[in-house]
Each structure stands twice: as C-alpha cells, then as structure tokens.
Amino acid sequence: MRTVFTPLHALHAPATEFFRGERVPCFEKVDRARYVHEALVARGHRVDAPEVDSRAVLPQVHGERYLAFLESAWARWLALAPATPERQPCPPTRPIRTLRADCEPAEFSAQVGVFCMDSGTPSCAGTWAAAQAGADAAATAARWVSQGERAAFVATRPPGHHAGPDFMGGYCFLNNAAVAAQALRNAGAARVAVLDVDYHHGNGTQAIFYERADVAFVSLHGDPRTEFPFFLGHADETGAGAGRGHNLNLPLPAGTDAQSWFQALAHGLAHIRQSHAQALVVSLGLDTFENDPISKFRLRSDDFLRLGERIAALGLPTVFVLEGGYAVDALGLNAVNVLEGFEAQAAV
C-alpha cells in the first residue's frame, strides 16, 4: 500500500504525562511511529514523505483562534518561565458550566483552560511542527486517493481524533482524520464517511462534523461511562441539524472480545454502506489490541487482518490514519496486518 511518513513526528517528544496524580513516562511515545515505519519498510510497502501543505484545509476543520493559539503556544509558555523537562502548561482554571468559554482570557495559562480538554496532553517545543507535519501527511494521502489510488496509510503521531474544532486533548492537537475527510471533500467526493476504530471515542472528529450531512461519523469504542474521553461517545448522539442521522456511536463495555467487537463493526459498516459515501477515512487506533497498556478490548494480532478485509469489502477509496495503540512492540505488526488484510480482500 502507498504510505506517507515523515521523521518530523519525532519533534513531538514530551518526557512525561500527568496520570493518576503523578508524572509517568508518556504512553504516546516517539517509538510508536518509528516501529510502524520499520514494519512498513520491512513488508515492502511504498513509503513517501508528505507532499501537500495542509494550511488551506486546517481552517476548514479548526477555528482560526485555536490554530493561532497552538502555533504560538510554546513561545508564550517559555515567556512565562524557563523550560525544564518537568514543566508543562497546566491551566489554573477551566470554563466549566456557568463560566464563560466565549471570553478568551489574555493570560496564556488561562487560555490553556479554554483550548485544552484534559490534563493529560503534554506538549514541547516541537509539538506544533510535528502536528503540522501529520496534517500534511493526512492531506497527502487524501490527494493520492482522490487521484485514483485505491488506499493509502498515514503513519503519523501525535494522533488527532480527540482534537476538536477549537481544542486539543487526549494526546491530540490537529485532527488528521478530519483533515483527510475535508481534503477528500475538497477534491470532489460529495460524501465521505469516517470510521473510527480506536479504543477511545473520537470526540473531536464527531464534534467537527456533527452538524454536517456531507461527512458521516461512525465509531466503535469503550463505553464513555468508564473510558476516556468520558463526556462524549454515547449511543444517543446521532447528529444535529443537517447532520441529523449521520453520526453513529457504538459504545462497548471494557473487556469486549473480538467476536462481539466484529459484530458491532458489521453494524457500523452497514451504516456506511447506506450513507452514499464516495470515500472513506479510517481512524486506525490499534489500542483495541489485547495487550494495550491503557485500553480494555481483546483483539489479537490476527484480528487486524480481518479488520482490513472487512473495510476493503466496502469497496471505497480509503485513507487510513494512525491514531492510538500503545503496545509499542506489536504496533508495527498490527498496523501492517490491517493494510495487508485490506489488500488481500481488495485484490479479490
């Protein structure tokens, strides 16, 4: 499969994240993309650098003020106090109910409270450059597919699906899957479907397209009553306004095994078949794997071959975008299994 990768992902390399009240080494680490890239090369997949500038697409999926905040964030943070590996932007206040999220404070730390949904998304000097490179990679894969490639895979990090219209969170800064979907729309696909198979609900992607009829969102994920991101991803969220009926959430309990997971996938795929989509974006989180350290589904490496087959059977031009997956040693194998299952089925 044609794949897109850039070593610039490694510019995003914060040392620690805040977890259960203490600093722990980041789960979302540089080795993730490194191992996926190694597996792609080892299995003979074609790997190219990004060749599209995503700057035209970014304001179509993110607010201008959020983008300006993100681009300048590290310089403004350094202006407050010198960098140490431990120091991380951490908001003193968040605009929870009855506080005004529409008044953007002038103070940088307070702005973090407006533009970041959680306290577990560390950043560093290279975060913006790495995130931008990932968005460029997503736009590149979308171009290839819109120009006739059957499918393409974006081997990138940090992930994107928790990043909403105007906020970061859940290790995500720019929503790469949304960039790919919007780029496919811009290139002429009248309707696009996004299938999110990451363990965690893609709250950012859902929010970006929630009131739109031209991009459907279908997600299988751990039930938000017990799993991150907790505050979105319920089955009763079906879209609003023009987007009514174009959002499908399939929350599943922690502990779900492959058999039940593939039953839910069949529902999601049936919804996509009825959506008249002309192109597909897959938010490919591999944290549904049985050995994932922060997730609780029980798929095995062979199951990812079957996942690729099922997706290919839709018969749609497809952009795969890497999202989560924290069992780093197995990440390369699990990723190429999806791509090779897809190619085997697509050849039939």
Kindly list the catalytic residues. 162
Distance in Å, CB of 172 to ligand OKP, minimum: 7
> Which strand (E) or helix (H) includes residue 35?
helix 31-42
Distance in Å, CB of 157 to Zn ion, minimum: 12
The smaller minimum CB distance to Zn ion, of residues 113 and 233, is found at 233
Between helix 127-146 and helix 176-186 the angle, nearest 10°, is: 40
> Which strand (E) or helix (H) includes residue 141?
helix 127-146
Q: Is 294 in the site for ligand OKP (CB under 6 A)?
A: yes
Number of H helices and E strands in the chain, helices first, is 10, 10
Task: Please give the size of the binding site for Zn ion, defined by CB under 5 A.
Answer: 6
For ligand OKP, which residue has the nearest CB?
A: 324
Q: Is 233 in the site for ligand OKP (CB under 6 A)?
A: no
Strands (DSSP E) contained in the chain are 2-4, 16-19, 22-25, 46-48, 151-154, 192-196, 215-222, 247-252, 279-284, 318-322
Q: Is 198 in the site for Zn ion (CB under 5 A)?
A: yes
Backbone angles phi, psi at 39, to 5 degrees: -70, -40
Helix (H, G, I), strand (E, B) or coil at 61: helix
Backbone angles phi, psi at 299, to 5 degrees: -75, 145
In the region spanning residues 273 to 332, those forming contacts with Zn ion, defined by CB under 5 A, are 285, 287, 324
For Zn ion, which residue has the nearest CB?
A: 324
For 219, counting Cβ atoms within 10 Å of its Cβ (0-12 exposed, 13-18 middle, 19+ buried), the class is: buried
Q: Residue 262 corresponds to which tokens in the numbers above? A: 């593939």
The smaller minimum CB distance to ligand OKP, of residues 163 and 312, is found at 163
- Near ligand OKP by CB under 6 A: residue from 32, 45, 185, 200: 200
Percentage helix, strand, coil, to 5, in the chain?
40, 15, 45
In the region spanning residues 258 to 287, those forming contacts with ligand OKP, defined by CB under 6 A, are 285, 287
- Near ligand OKP by CB under 6 A: residue from 5, 69, 128, 171: 171
Q: Under 8 Å CB-to-CB from 72, ≥6 apart: which residues?
A: none
Q: Is 324 in the site for ligand OKP (CB under 6 A)?
A: yes
Distance in Å, CB of 89 to Zn ion, minimum: 22
User: What is the spatial distance between Cα 321 and Cα 4, in angstroms, rounded to a whole number?
Assistant: 10
The smaller minimum CB distance to ligand OKP, of residues 162 and 296, is found at 162
Q: Residue 54 corresponds to which tokens in the numbers above? A: 């995503």
Backbone angles phi, psi at 213, to 5 degrees: -90, -15
45 binds, among Zn ion, ligand OKP, none (CB under 5 to 8 A by kind): none
Strands (DSSP E) contained in 26-90 are 46-48
- Near ligand OKP by CB under 6 A: residue from 120, 134, 239, 332: 120
Q: Is 200 in the site for Zn ion (CB under 5 A)?
A: yes
164 binds, among Zn ion, ligand OKP, none (CB under 5 to 8 A by kind): none
Q: Is 170 in the site for ligand OKP (CB under 6 A)?
A: yes
The smaller minimum CB distance to Zn ion, of residues 144 and 199, is found at 199
The smaller minimum CB distance to ligand OKP, of residues 317 and 324, is found at 324
Q: Is 222 in the site for ligand OKP (CB under 6 A)?
A: no
Q: Is 144 in the site for ligand OKP (CB under 6 A)?
A: no
Task: Please give the size of the binding site for ligand OKP, defined by CB under 6 A.
Answer: 15
Positions touching ligand OKP (CB under 6 A) are: 19, 27, 120, 159, 162, 170-171, 198, 200, 228, 285, 287, 294, 323-324
Positions touching Zn ion (CB under 5 A) are: 198-200, 285, 287, 324
